Amino acid sequence: MGWFDSVEHNRWLSAQMRALLDEARAAIVPTGFAHVTSDGGADPDRPVELAVTARMTYVFSLGALMGIPGCRGVADHGVRSLIRCFGDPDNGGWFTAIRPVPGKDGHGIPWDEDGQCKSQFHISFLILAASAATVADRPDAHELLAAALHDQERHWLEECGLVTDLRSPDLAVAADRHTMDSLVHTAEAYLSAAEATTDPVWVERAEVISRFVWERARADEWRLPEYYDSQWRPTSGESEPFIDGRCVYAGHVIGHSLQWSRLALHIRAALRSMGRPQPDYLMEMARELFERARVDGWRRSDGIPGFALTVDDGGEVLVAERRQWVVCEGVCTATSLRRGLLDDGVEVGEVEHFEHCYRSWIDHINDDFIERPGRWYRVLDAQNHPIRPAAPIRSDIYHAIQAMLMPRVPLWPPFASAISRGLLDHPEQPAADRRSWTFFHRR
């Protein structure tokens, strides 16, 4: 019996997931969810970020759907914060970073001038959170999702089908560069929105983005450039920091290749669920990105388990430190490739490669990242020594929760809808399932 068929393994996954949720409650502040200190308390010296609050709202919405006590109220706090505290009452859209205590009128106060900017990276998580909260039937979540999707069509979708990355506080001026991290999280958010709204146009938009990524990756030996200019031509991206708090990566990001491998399979399964053709490039993209990321990134430091963070154009390691989110995406992607091939009818013996990767990467998480249930190290050095103390992982928790859930759900529908439809622990559910789609003419 393999791990995927083991009741005890599923119990381990479930226990780790519930411990993460238990620890994450410590991040609650009046305006959303804060970063936390090494002792687990809310950090008053760092801004309350839109992406962090949205990710926490998302995972607690999943917890509410699974019937984990205490998650409903936390998810509701997240939805209220996203609407009341992050919403910009003057210009529209959502602030990127605010203070932990609201103003006298109840609205959030931007952390600083940069906190007033509008960021697609952050808003993509707002859409993800609102989609899951809508499926979980949390108060005001549907209205939040509708507002966020209207905002996408008005301010962020470009004529080419890709998305703008940053806008000025009044939404009038767009930045002249684009990023892969915005693309990957936007596509994931669109898939969740498609199921939550029963509107397949969001699958179509995710597929348009994925086709660009496939063309770009194929032209670069299946490595993904991280930064692009206003015309979507690759650039180094290292000239200046991002005003929305994101780090600037040097080289090709292993974790983003793994994420796109997984998303290609989700898009493929979504198209199948609608009875539509699945372009051959999606499986090619999934397999090639996975193998390139595995070869470039895994065990590159003296054979020690772990993924390098970035590599150069030739596959040489640039940043060797291990990030928790990267191995979590590896777990999700190995699981997804195994599932996608099984859904296509291959024999179990033909997916042993992906099962081996899964076992190795879960062991790495258990042996090196988990200090204790609920407390994971966020960053390790190349020898797997912690760079900073373990703490509830706030901004990374959605990667960890999805890694603990991915082996237990099918490729489609997305996590929230799969749980709501009773598919948890039934990953073999056929992808061809049209129950959720309502086709209609868009006005």
Residues 208 and 120 placed together within one structural domain of the fold: no
Quick one: pLDDT at residue 33?
96
Structural domain includes residue 2 = no
H-only helix segments in 136-179? 141-151
252 included as an active-site residue: no
Structural domain includes residue 215 = yes
Cα–Cα distance for residue pair 82/94, rounded to 1 Å: 8
Q: In the beta sheet, which residues pair with residue 167?
A: 118, 174
Return the closest-CA partner of residue 222 out of 292, 286, 282: 292
Average pLDDT, the chain: 93
Residues 73 and 116 placed together within one structural domain of the fold: yes
Return the closest-CA partner of residue 190 out of 125, 259, 118, 278: 125
Q: What is the pLDDT of residues 33-84, one digit of tens each?
A: 998 887 778 888 899 999 999 999 999 999 999 999 999 999 999 999 999 9
Residues 149 and 57 placed together within one structural domain of the fold: yes
- In which residue are the tokens 């915005």 written? 182
User: Binning pLDDT at 50, 70 and 90, where does residue 93 land?
Assistant: very high
Residues 234 and 143 placed together within one structural domain of the fold: no
Which is higher by pLDDT, 390 or 245? 245
Quick one: pLDDT at residue 87?
97
What residue type is 201 in one-letter code? Answer: V
Cα–Cα distance for residue pair 60/334, rounded to 1 Å: 25
Phi, psi of 261 (to 5 degrees): -60, -45
Q: In the beta sheet, which residues pair with residue 227?
A: 179, 235
Return the closest-CA partner of residue 410 out of 381, 441, 391, 431: 431
Calculate what percentage of the chain has a pLDDT beyond 70. 94
Residues 287 and 411 placed together within one structural domain of the fold: yes
Cα–Cα distance for residue pair 238/327, rounded to 1 Å: 25
Verify cis geometry, omega within 30 degrees of 0, for the bond prior to 413: yes
DSSP string, 274-286: TT----HHHHHHH
* Of the candidate ranges 25-39, 89-103, 354-368, the one whose mean pLDDT is the lowest: 25-39
User: Binning pLDDT at 50, 70 and 90, where does residue 443 land?
Assistant: very low
Residues 272 and 136 placed together within one structural domain of the fold: no
- 204 within 8 A of 156, measured Cβ to Cβ: no
- 159 within 8 A of 380, measured Cβ to Cβ: no
User: Binning pLDDT at 50, 70 and 90, where does residue 286 land?
Assistant: very high
Residues 129 and 182 placed together within one structural domain of the fold: no
Tell which phi-psi region holds residue 18, choosing left (phi > 0), alpha (psi between -120 and 50) or beta. alpha
Quick one: pLDDT at residue 395?
62
Q: What is the pLDDT of residues 370-395, one digit of tens each?
A: 999 999 999 999 999 998 765 555 56
Cα distance from N-terminal residue to C-terminal residue, the chain: 52
Quick one: pLDDT at residue 237?
64
Structural domain includes residue 370 = yes
CATH value at residue 127: 1.50.10.10
Domain boundary among 112, 147, 173: 173
Quick one: pLDDT at residue 44?
84
Residues 300 and 365 placed together within one structural domain of the fold: yes
Cα–Cα distance for residue pair 123/94, rounded to 1 Å: 8
Annotated catalytic residue, options 178, 185, 252, 256: 256
Residues 169 and 181 placed together within one structural domain of the fold: no
Averaged pLDDT, 330-359? 97
Quick one: pLDDT at residue 239?
56
Structural domain includes residue 441 = no
Quick one: pLDDT at residue 442?
40
Structural domain includes residue 440 = no
Residues 180 and 165 placed together within one structural domain of the fold: no
Cα–Cα distance for residue pair 267/279, rounded to 1 Å: 10
Domain boundary among 146, 173, 200: 173
- 177 within 8 A of 230, measured Cβ to Cβ: yes
Residue 137's alpha-carbon distances to 3, 71, 142, 153, 205, in angstroms, are 33, 13, 8, 24, 25
- 9 within 8 A of 406, measured Cβ to Cβ: no
Q: Is 438 exposed, middle or buried (0-12, 13-18, 19+ CB in 10 A)?
A: exposed
Residues 231 and 302 placed together within one structural domain of the fold: yes
Averaged pLDDT, 14-40? 92
Domain boundary among 145, 173, 201: 173
Structural domain includes residue 156 = yes
- 331 within 8 A of 339, measured Cβ to Cβ: no
How many structural domains comprise the chain? 2
Instruction: Residue 212: give the domain boundaries.
Output: 176-423
Beta-carbon contacts of 258 under 8 Å, excluding residues fewer than 6 positions away, are: 289, 290, 293, 326, 329, 330, 332, 333
| C-alpha torsion 24→27→32→34, nearest 10 | -120
* Of the candidate ranges 96-105, 214-223, 340-349, 427-436, the one whose mean pLDDT is the lowest: 427-436
Cα–Cα distance for residue pair 158/138, rounded to 1 Å: 31
426 included as an active-site residue: no
Quick one: pLDDT at residue 200?
96
In the chain, helix, strand, coil percent, each to 5? 50, 10, 35
Cα–Cα distance for residue pair 49/96, rounded to 1 Å: 6
Structural domain includes residue 210 = yes
Residues 310 and 181 placed together within one structural domain of the fold: yes
Structural domain includes residue 204 = yes
Beta-carbon contacts of 277 under 8 Å, excluding residues fewer than 6 positions away, are: 271
